[in-house]
């Protein structure tokens, strides 16, 4: 038997789910009323109550079953599917009561299959995610990208190549400077040579 705190937590979760489904039902009910030419407020109210009861009883039933069977973390995949199927049946029964006694059995069958089926699909999707670990990919790895990501070694090699190229360019510039200095000194020497005999 769940403790008072656990029951309050289950109740709060159920009311939250009911509020969400009830809001969706209200919107659909108003739309349905407008399409049928009936009072939209009345249709919205009835549909909102029905959807609220479906959502809240489904979550409450499933949470109580999980607790009774040892907690969600201790359940097998088949237990999850069974719990969802039973909870779907309970919510279908409550939803069927709104529409009259003849709708109870079809409601139980339909919502049981819906709950179990959705849980089964969810379990399979989780299994597939676990089996196929996602490799970390970047947009640079796309074959359409003009850029590509470099490994650390490739980056170091590229930097070393740039440093060598810069060293070569600096050496060429040094040679040019030396040749310019040499060519600047030659005219000065020739002028000095041409001036010195006149002094004698």
Q: Looking at residue 185, what is its pLDDT?
A: 77
Q: Looking at residue 190, what is its pLDDT?
A: 65
Tokens of 121: 């699909």
Q: Looking at residue 188, what is its pLDDT?
A: 62
Q: What's the burial of 52, exposed, middle or buried (CB within 10 Å: 0-12/13-18/19+)?
A: buried
Contacts of 34 (CB under 8 A, 6+ apart): 40
Residue 33 CB neighbours (<10 A): 19
Regions of the chain where pLDDT drops below 70 = 1-2, 132-145, 187-200
């Amino acid at each position: 038997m769940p403790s008072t705190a656990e029951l309050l937590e289950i109740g709060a979760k159920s009311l939250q789910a009911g509020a969400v489904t009830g809001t969706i039902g209200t919107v659909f009910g108003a739309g349905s009323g407008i399409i049928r030419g009936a009072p939209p407020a009345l249709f919205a109210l009835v549909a909102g109550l029905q959807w609220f009861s479906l959502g809240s009883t489904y979550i409450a039933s499933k949470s109580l079953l999980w607790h009774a069977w040892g907690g969600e973390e201790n359940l097998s995949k088949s237990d999850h599917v069974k719990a969802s199927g039973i909870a779907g049946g309970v919510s279908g029964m409550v939803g069927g009561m709104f529409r009259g006694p003849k709708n109870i059995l079809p409601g139980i069958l339909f919502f049981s299959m819906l709950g179990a089926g959705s849980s089964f699909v969810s379990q399979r999707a989780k299994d597939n995610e676990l089996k196929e670990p996602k490799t970390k990919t970047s947009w640079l790895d796309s074959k359409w990208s003009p850029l590509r990501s470099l490994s650390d070694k490739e980056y170091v090699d590229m930097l070393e190549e740039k440093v060598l190229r810069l060293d070569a360019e600096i050496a060429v510039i040094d040679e040019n400077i030396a040749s310019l200095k040499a060519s600047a000194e030659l005219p000065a020497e020739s002028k000095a040579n041409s001036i010195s005999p006149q002094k004698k």
